[in-house]
């Protein structure tokens, strides 16, 4: 069985044709406009494989260019191009449970659901995938002309999609969300503090609320754990959750996320926020004695994977029209729960949570 290093050699991460001048990672400035339709996994299955028929393996690569989300997409492409067996322990038991020990290899599993023939050979997927970084304009133009099949054009926070960018005819796929989650200890969560309003969260941060009893919890003072360098959090957190309001001082400051989570776990009175990128890694690493609070929006509790959760934001991908079988197969693989521990690994500042996922598992 080929090693993980051999699988990594299988990914092609060069700029696809027509993008060599655009692989510079220049970001846009404004928020996106609603000039495109959206789709989810069920829609992809309906449109891309309403009548699945197996096809011959094609040597034509699926080209992708992204402004943001390059790391997770590239890692998913690495797995896809490596086409590992589900029995390879390197890729986790969840992957084996999903694919089945006697089923096709990874790329073949998702490709077969959309009429593509599995090859059952390592480093030989139904089609290969290339991933490149690009500017918004170049990625958008390449998608419109067919040079690429999938584009990541930015996010609401770190690389806003330019409002002047023409997205007509594109279909948006909100597979992931990035940002921040609010956590408390399991003991506090079990006592009844399972959700919080944005107004109450602001009250905690500005010092107006100082006892959990006012939030349906025990008669215990609230202990706020902050961060040394960016106590108020990323701009998206300050804008959407704290609404730009002044904040009081935290009761305790930390420079490392795991130290903050340890404090939450050790105490029964602490609340803090952690980046989405650390949720899975901390829980897989054994730090499980904390729970993520829902935030109530218009009286309805929302989790960080839900659309409308004010502390997270979508990280979309785009296709031209409804995705074809190849695009749909890779989008399904990209959003599959079994692949998340692999593709959401270390990736700088943009880490994501699958849309609709409940991290309190």
Do 146 and 246 belong to one domain? no
Do 106 and 78 belong to one domain? yes
The stretch 326-337 carries a mean pLDDT of 91
Indicate the range of 92-101, 150-159, 176-185, 273-282 predicted with least confidence.
92-101
Residue pLDDT, tens place only, 117-137: 888 888 999 999 999 999 999
pLDDT score recorded for residue 276: 81
**Is 244 domain-assigned?**
yes
60 vs 280, more confident: 60
Q: How far apart are CA 268 and CA 290, in angstroms?
A: 10
Do 17 and 147 belong to one domain? yes
Mean of the per-residue pLDDT values of the chain: 76
Do 168 and 183 belong to one domain? no
Task: Report the helix count and the strand count for the chain, using DSSP H and E.
Answer: 13, 14
**Is 257 domain-assigned?**
yes
Which of 302, 322, 344 is a domain's end point?
A: 302
pLDDT score recorded for residue 217: 94
Do 39 and 64 belong to one domain? yes
The stretch 150-157 carries a mean pLDDT of 86
Q: What is the CATH number of the domain that holds 107?
A: 3.40.190.10
Which of 275, 302, 329 is a domain's end point?
A: 302
Indicate the range of 15-19, 148-152, 238-242 predicted with least confidence.
15-19
Number of domains in the chain: 2
Distances (CA, A) of 55 to 44, 120, 262, 306: 18, 14, 52, 36
Which of 259, 277, 302 is a domain's end point?
A: 302
**Is 361 domain-assigned?**
no
**Is 85 domain-assigned?**
yes
pLDDT score recorded for residue 148: 97
pLDDT score recorded for residue 70: 79
30 vs 253, more confident: 253
Distances (CA, A) of 26 to 23, 139, 158, 263: 8, 11, 11, 39
Do 218 and 298 belong to one domain? yes
Q: Are 24 and 133 in contact (CB under 8 A)?
A: yes
**Is 43 domain-assigned?**
yes
The sign of the CA dihedral 280, 282, 285, 286 is negative
**Is 117 domain-assigned?**
yes
Q: How far apart are CA 305 and CA 315, in angstroms?
A: 11
Close Cβ partners of 332 (under 8 Å, ≥ 6 residues apart)? 41, 44, 45, 110, 113, 114
DSSP, residue by residue, 79-107: HHHH---TT-GGG-HHHHHHH-TTS--HH
Residue pLDDT, tens place only, 13-35: 334 433 433 332 222 222 222 22
Do 45 and 168 belong to one domain? yes
Do 124 and 112 belong to one domain? yes
> Which of the listed ranges 4-8, 229-233, 299-303, 354-358 does the model predict with the highest average pLDDT?
299-303
266 vs 143, more confident: 143
Do 172 and 184 belong to one domain? no
Residue range of the domain that includes 273: 179-302
Do 71 and 168 belong to one domain? yes
Do 211 and 78 belong to one domain? no
**Is 360 domain-assigned?**
no
**Is 189 domain-assigned?**
yes
- For the chain, percent of residues with pLDDT exceeding 90: 32
Do 15 and 135 belong to one domain? yes
């Amino acid at each position: 069985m080929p090693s993980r290093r051999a699988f990594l050699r299988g990914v092609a991460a060069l700029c696809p044709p027509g993008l060599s001048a655009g692989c510079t990672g220049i970001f846009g400035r404004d928020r996106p406009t609603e000039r495109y339709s959206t789709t989810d996994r069920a829609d992809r299955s309906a449109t891309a494989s309403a009548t699945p028929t197996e096809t011959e393996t094609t040597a034509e690569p699926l080209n992708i260019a992204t402004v943001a989300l390059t790391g997770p997409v590239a890692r998913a492409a690495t797995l896809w191009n490596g086409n590992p067996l589900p029995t390879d322990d390197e890729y986790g038991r969840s992957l084996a449970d999903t694919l089945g020990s006697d089923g096709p290899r990874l790329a073949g599993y998702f490709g077969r659901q959309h009429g593509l023939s599995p090859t059952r050979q390592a480093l030989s997927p139904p089609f290969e995938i290339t991933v490149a970084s690009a500017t918004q304009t170049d990625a958008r133009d390449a998608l419109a002309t067919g040079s690429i099949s999938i584009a990541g054009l930015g996010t609401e926070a770190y690389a806003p999609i330019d409002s002047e960018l023409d997205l007509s005819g594109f279909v948006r796929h909100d597979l992931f969300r990035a940002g921040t989650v609010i956590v408390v200890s399991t003991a506090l969560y079990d006592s009844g503090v399972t959700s919080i309003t944005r107004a109450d969260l602001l009250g905690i941060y500005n010092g107006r609320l100082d006892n959990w009893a006012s939030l349906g919890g025990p008669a215990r003072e609230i202990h706020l754990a902050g961060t040394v360098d960016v106590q108020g959090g990323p701009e998206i957190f300050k804008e959407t959750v704290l609404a730009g309001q002044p904040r009081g001082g935290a009761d305790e400051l930390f420079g490392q996320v795991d130290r903050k989570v340890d404090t939450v776990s050790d105490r029964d009175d602490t609340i803090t926020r952690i980046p989405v990128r650390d949720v899975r890694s901390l829980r897989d690493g054994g730090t499980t004695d904390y729970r993520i609070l829902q935030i109530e929006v218009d009286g309805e509790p929302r989790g960080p994977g839900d659309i409308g959760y004010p502390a997270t934001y979508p990280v979309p991908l785009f296709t031209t029209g409804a995705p074809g079988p190849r695009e749909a197969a890779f989008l399904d693989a990209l959003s599959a729960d079994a692949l998340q521990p692999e593709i959401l690994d270390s990736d700088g500042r943009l880490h994501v949570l699958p849309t609709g996922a409940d991290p309190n598992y």
